């Protein structure tokens, strides 16, 4: 494992307890993200991509969820790694927003409807950029009082704010100005044309695209190393979507952060991601550079997914639909989850869980077609039709 990796998810499994049994939402998932790169996590509803993303920040509620196995290693500034899943709540909170940030699908739900945009962002800056604020307010030298700190963090109540305002008028004014300017800069950075007006508005007064920009400003307030974007444009119109994705791309280039991009839309992957991991029923079935994977998909599911996308060229009525439905994830049998719908499925597929095999530089696929009978320990007759490329066990 190279030491340039920023985030490493290793053998992550997340289970959910329900009245019907234990659902394996994420099943032994491993991948890594390097600094500055964009990895897309693609799959349909219920494949586990959102749960995986949330697990990185430990946002999965436990119960009913539980981290059944695995670790999420984040590289620290000194080169060492720490496992987020076994860190203390305090450490995890320090990571959230600071080193890893997240934006969600529905910006309306992520913004507090009772606060103006200005106040919400002020809170974020107060939490994470205290030193910068005090520097800008020329208060750093004199070691600002507890009260000043609380005011900056927006945790002071009205009386305390009044007290601060009265006792140190100059400092209070400068602090407020510093906060407002940071917020305005952050908003202007995302292409919002009239930041002052937006700061005074409430979330419900903004359009979807505008809210998403605010959320991006909020997420990037503290310059995280990794941004997790969970379907950020699904709820937006196509023309706005294009601009928001452009914006995220720009921010990435300007700040050099990595992006984990969760989506169900393969066409977006092509335009915006360096690498892609395709998930099905809780497992990663294929991973590799996005151009390669989309041009020559290896896993039957990826192929099926690409063929199912409607295009002008496909004759009508002949979209290659994948037959069947996604299997239930409750106490799943030990086999390839896709076997029930795969045209190549054979006995081996129904009895042995496929592991990721390396089939090229940076490409892995979890399919028995790329394996051989000997390494699986099954009779040759049980194997599916072999693919043209042979895979080697990764790791």
Partner 1 sequence: MTMLNNPQSTLFGGATDAVLSMRDVKVHYPVKEGLLQQVTGYVRAVDGVSLSIPRGQTLGLVGESGCGKTTLGRVISGLVAPTNGELWVDVTADDQREIDRLSALSPKEMGQADQATLKRLKESHLLGSMSREKQRQYRRNCQVVFQDAFSSLNPRQLVRDIVGRPLRVHREASGDELDEKVVELLEKVGLGRQHLLRYPHQFSGGQRQRISIARALALNPEFVVLDEPTSALDVSVQAQILNLLVELQKDMGLTYLFITHDLGVVQHMADSIAVMYLGQIAEFGPTADVFNNPLHPYTRILRDSNPTLEDDDKREKWDLSGTVPNPINPPRGCRLHPRCPVAKAECGWSVDDVLIDTERHAPVLFETITRVQRSSDFSARIEFDQAEPATQFATRVGQLSAHDALDKPVAVEGASVDMSFVEVSDAELAQMQEGRWSSCTRTQQIGALPELDSKKSQ
CB 279 within 8 A of CB 47: yes
Tell the smallest beta-carbon distance from residue 272 to partner 1 (Å).
8
Q: Is 265 in the site for partner 1 (CB under 8 A)?
A: yes
Q: Is 334 in the site for partner 1 (CB under 8 A)?
A: no
Please report, as residue ranges, which positions from 24 to 63 form the binding site for partner 1 (by CB under 8 A): 44-45
* CA separation for the pair 290, 293 (Å, rounded): 5
Q: Applying CB under 8 A, which part among 84-92, 97-105, 123-131, 239-247 lies near partner 1?
A: 239-247
Question: 230 CB contacts (<8 Å, ≥6 apart)?
Answer: 50, 53, 54, 102, 103, 104, 105, 262
CB 80 within 8 A of CB 145: no
Neighbour-count burial for 190-228, b at 16+ CB within 10 Å, e otherwise: bbbeebeebbeeebeebebbbbbbbbbbbbbbbebbbbb
Please report, as residue ranges, which positions from 289 to 328 form the binding site for partner 1 (by CB under 8 A): 294, 304-306, 308-312, 314, 316-322, 325
Binding test (CB under 8 A) with partner 1, winner from 109, 177, 197, 390: 197
Please report, as residue ranges, which positions from 77 to 136 form the binding site for partner 1 (by CB under 8 A): none
Closest CA to 100 of 55, 50, 46, 153: 55
Q: Is 141 in the site for partner 1 (CB under 8 A)?
A: no
Binding test (CB under 8 A) with partner 1, winner from 169, 173, 196, 390: 196
Query: Given the complex with partner 1, which of 130 and 188 has the nearer CB atom?
Result: 188
* CA separation for the pair 193, 207 (Å, rounded): 13
Query: Tokens representing 281?
Result: 């029923």
Q: What is the DSSP string of 168-183?
A: THHHHHHHHHHHHHHH
Q: Is 19 in the site for partner 1 (CB under 8 A)?
A: no
Binding test (CB under 8 A) with partner 1, winner from 7, 152, 227, 266: 266
CB 57 within 8 A of CB 28: no
Q: Applying CB under 8 A, which part among 51-59, 98-106, 158-166, 261-269 lies near partner 1?
A: 261-269
CB 354 within 8 A of CB 336: yes
Q: Applying CB under 8 A, which part among 106-114, 129-137, 202-210, 348-356 lies near partner 1?
A: 202-210
Tell the smallest beta-carbon distance from residue 182 to partner 1 (Å).
19
- Count other C-beta atoms under 10 Å from residue 70's C-beta: 18
Query: Tokens representing 150?
Result: 């609380």
* CA separation for the pair 148, 209 (Å, rounded): 35
| DSSP secondary structure letter of residue 265 | -
Q: Applying CB under 8 A, which part among 27-35, 121-129, 143-151, 232-240 lies near partner 1?
A: 232-240
Q: Applying CB under 8 A, which part among 22-30, 167-175, 205-213, 215-223 lies near partner 1?
A: 205-213
Tell the smallest beta-carbon distance from residue 380 to partner 1 (Å).
31
Query: Given the complex with partner 1, which of 324 and 362 has the nearer CB atom?
Result: 324
* CA separation for the pair 131, 340 (Å, rounded): 57
* CA separation for the pair 189, 111 (Å, rounded): 19
Tell the smallest beta-carbon distance from residue 190 to partner 1 (Å).
14
Q: How many residues bind partner 1 (CB under 8 A)?
A: 40
Tell the smallest beta-carbon distance from residue 247 to partner 1 (Å).
12
- Count other C-beta atoms under 10 Å from residue 153's C-beta: 17
Q: Applying CB under 8 A, which part among 83-91, 169-177, 251-259, 260-268 lies near partner 1?
A: 260-268
Closest CA to 258 of 247, 269, 249, 245: 249
Task: Give the chain's end-to-end CA distance (angstroms, integer).
Answer: 9
Query: Given the complex with partner 1, which of 130 and 240 has the nearer CB atom?
Result: 240
Q: Applying CB under 8 A, which part among 72-80, 82-90, 203-211, 383-391 lies near partner 1?
A: 203-211
Query: Given the complex with partner 1, which of 155 and 177 has the nearer CB atom?
Result: 177
Tell the smallest beta-carbon distance from residue 271 to partner 1 (Å).
5
Which positions touch partner 1 (CB under 8 A)?
A: 44-45, 193-194, 196-197, 207, 209-210, 237-239, 241-243, 264-268, 270-271, 294, 304-306, 308-312, 314, 316-322, 325
């Amino acid at each position: 494992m190279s030491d340039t990796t920023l985030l490493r998810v290793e053998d992550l499994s997340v289970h959910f307890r329900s009245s019907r049994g234990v659902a394996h939402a994420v099943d032994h998932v491993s991948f890594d993200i390097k600094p500055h790169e964009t990895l897309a996590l693609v799959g349909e509803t219920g494949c586990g991509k959102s749960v995986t993303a949330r697990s990185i920040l430990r946002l999965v509620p436990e119960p009913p969820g539980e981290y059944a196995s695995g670790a999420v290693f984040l590289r620290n500034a000194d080169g060492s790694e720490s496992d987020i899943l076994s860190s203390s709540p305090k450490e995890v909170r320090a990571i959230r927003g600071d080193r890893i940030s997240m934006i969600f699908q529905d910006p309306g739900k992520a913004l507090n409807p009772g606060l103006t945009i200005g106040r919400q962002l002020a809170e974020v800056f107060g939490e994470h950029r205290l030193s910068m604020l005090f520097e800008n307010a020329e208060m750093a030298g004199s070691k600002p009082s507890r009260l000043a700190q609380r005011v900056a963090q927006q945790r002071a109540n009205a009386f305390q704010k009044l007290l601060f305002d009265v006792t140190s008028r100059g400092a209070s004014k400068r602090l407020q100005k510093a906060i407002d300017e940071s917020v305005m800069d952050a908003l202007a950075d995302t292409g919002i044309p009239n930041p002052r007006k937006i700061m005074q508005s409430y979330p419900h007064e903004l359009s979807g695209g505008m809210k998403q920009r605010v959320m991006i400003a909020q997420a990037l307030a503290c310059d995280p190393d990794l941004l997790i974007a969970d379907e950020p444009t699904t709820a937006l119109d196509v023309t706005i979507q294009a601009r928001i994705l452009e914006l995220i791309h720009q921010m990435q280039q300007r700040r050099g952060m990595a992006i984990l991009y969760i989506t169900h839309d393969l066409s977006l992957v092509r335009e915006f991601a360096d690498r892609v991991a395709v998930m099905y029923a809780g497992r990663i079935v294929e991973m590799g550079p996005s151009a390669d994977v989309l041009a020559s998909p290896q896993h039957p599911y990826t192929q099926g997914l690409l063929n199912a996308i409607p295009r002008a060229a496909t004759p009508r009525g002949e979209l290659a639909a994948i037959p069947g439905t996604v299997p239930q994830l409750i106490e799943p049998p030990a086999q390839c989850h896709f076997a029930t719908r795969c045209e190549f499925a054979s006995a081996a597929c129904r009895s042995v869980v496929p592991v990721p095999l390396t089939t090229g530089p940076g490409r892995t696929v979890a399919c028995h077609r790329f394996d051989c009978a000997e390494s699986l320990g099954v009779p040759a007759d049980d194997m599916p039709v072999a693919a043209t490329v042979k895979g080697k066990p990764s790791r």
